[in-house]
Amino acid sequence: MSTIVQKFGGTSLGSTERIKLMAKKVILETKKGHDVVVVVSAMGKTTDTLVQLAREISTKPRKREMDMLLSTGEQVSISLLTMALQQEGIEAISFTGRQAGIQTDSVLGNAHIEAIDTSRIKNELAKGKVVVVAGFQGVTSDGDISTLGRGGSDTTATALAAALKAERCDIYTDVQGVYTSDPRFVPRASKIASLSYEDMLSLATMGAGVLHPRAIKHARVHQVPIFIKSSFEKGKGTLVYGQSQENGGTPVIGVTFEENVQRVDVSGFEDGKSLRTALLQKLAAHHIQADIYKQPYECTLTLLLKEQDVQEVLSILNEMKIKRLFSHIEQKSGLSKVSVIGRNIKSHPDIKVEMCKILLKNKIRVKMVGKSSISVTAVVQKSQVHNAAEKLHTGFGLDYVVMEQAVL
Ligand code: ADP
Ligand code: ASP
Ligand code: MG
């Protein structure tokens, strides 16, 4: 019998009514004869509330206790969804990450899944049960609870789908699929019917929060098709699968943004190249992604960081400063990144020029511009980022041409 994995995000489980509604979607798949594994996020904004509680108690909570705290959100969801299924006469069992056999490394707060022992899940499926697994969590080799980074339930779902050789992984969320930009802020964004793992990875890495970037890597290795679809509206959603097809047209596939970015400048060093390498190694060991730019004509390295990573990076930098690898650290907040995403961007210098022209024409001040093989990124004032994304979306010809707007 074929196995499918279904994943429900926080908004889809935001109330007991919604949990009952999602249980119906699970039942529908069991009726089609599938073995079903369900992965759930915490209800609504529970994880944010838990983070806030920790902040009220401690200025620097230890990661072990944070993971202990944050993992409770998903535990509420597994038990309630399992009860909802049982109430409808469906045999179901709930599992925490550890009970589901999800082994991670020990980078608490942002752990990577290393292995999954699926034997317990398979036993329960063989008994005809639906298995409901807590997303976003696993267990380290020391037996501690770990979490996979914000949005990490998607990764639990695709990693389980890969380990179980599932026919597909359905990600249910609050939009109808993947769009050319975030439809919440760019109303003329259009839904993409299907895209390759590679293109999805580019969008997700640069800020399209609809799918956790690591989720794509697990699915790609084992070629599991991912369907991203709405929990509330009918529709085919977006299929993420296979490789990119060269269509010969414009290489731009979307516009992404990250609202809360901080800039940290490091200066007073002698060898910028080896400092950059040392920094990249340290950040990688903590699973932190950062853009690092060398300012032309200045002895400064600029790091662009997600707000949530800033404290950790500052403590790494302070250790390096004590070792006299450089002498100054300067921090700036209130910034955002907006990126034009495409394939082989480096061989299209016109995209960077066009991007700057569009932003300038719309009086959006560009503080920095950077380029990689998948994107051109501009740093702008946070207050201007949504306007910037909208103008770039229009400027690069991505606007929806039909009269209808994206349905949320
Ligand atoms: P869930 O709780 O279901 O995991 P998320 O909030 O993590 O949901 O992800 C869904 C959200 O991703 C949408 O509400 C939307 O605002 C945002 N988003 C950002 N970029 C995109 C994009 N390119 N396409 C679709 N949604 C996007
Ligand atoms: N509950 C976690 C978060 O809010 C994980 C997830 O939703 O995927 O980040
Ligand atoms: Mg999510």
pLDDT band at 402 (very low <50, low <70, confident <90, very high): very low
The pLDDT of 122-140, averaged and rounded, is 98
DSSP character at residue 379: E
Q: Is 372 exposed, middle or buried (0-12, 13-18, 19+ CB in 10 A)?
A: middle
The pLDDT of 76-81, averaged and rounded, is 98
Which of 201-205, 207-211, 299-303 is the least confident region? 299-303
Q: Cβ(136) to ligand 2 under 6 A?
A: yes
Checking if the pLDDT of 3 tops 90, the result is yes
Q: What is the pLDDT of residue 404?
A: 40
The answer to whether residues 134 and 96 touch, using CB atoms and an 8 Å cutoff, is yes
Tokens describing residue 314? 């500052």
For residue 41, report the distance from its CA to the centre of ligand 3, in Å.
8
Average pLDDT of the chain? 94
pLDDT in tens, 219-234: 999 999 999 999 999 9
pLDDT band at 15 (very low <50, low <70, confident <90, very high): very high
For residue 74, report the distance from its CA to the centre of ligand 2, in Å.
8
pLDDT in tens, 282-306: 999 999 988 888 877 678 899 999 9
Rounded percentage of the chain residues whose pLDDT exceeds 70: 97
Checking if the pLDDT of 365 tops 80, the result is yes
Which of the listed residues 40, 113, 136, 147 should we mutate to test ligand 2's pocket, taking the one with most ligand atoms within 8 A of CB? 136
* H-run or E-run covering 92: strand 92-95
Q: Which ligand is nearest the CA of 7, by number? A: 1
**Per-residue buried b or exposed e for 133-152, using 16+ beta carbons within 10 Å of the residue's own CB:** bbbbbbbbeeebbbbbbbbb
Rounded percentage of the chain residues whose pLDDT exceeds 90: 83
Q: What is the pLDDT of residue 248?
A: 62
Pocket of ligand 1 (CB under 6 A): 9-12, 41, 151, 173-175, 178-179, 181-184, 203, 208-210
Q: What is the pLDDT of residue 293?
A: 86
Q: Which ligand is nearest the CA of 153, by number? A: 2
Q: Cβ(45) to ligand 2 under 6 A?
A: no
Checking if the pLDDT of 200 tops 80, the result is yes
**What are the chain's domains?**
3-174 (3.40.1160.10)
pLDDT band at 245 (very low <50, low <70, confident <90, very high): confident
Q: Which ligand is nearest the CA of 199, by number? A: 1
Kindly list the protein residues that place their beta carbon closer than 5 angstroms to ligand 3, a single-atom ion: 9, 151
The pLDDT of 301-323, averaged and rounded, is 91
Q: Cβ(326) to ligand 2 under 6 A?
A: no
The pLDDT of 155-160, averaged and rounded, is 98
Scan for tokens 């903590």, then name that residue: 286
pTM for the full predicted model = 0.94
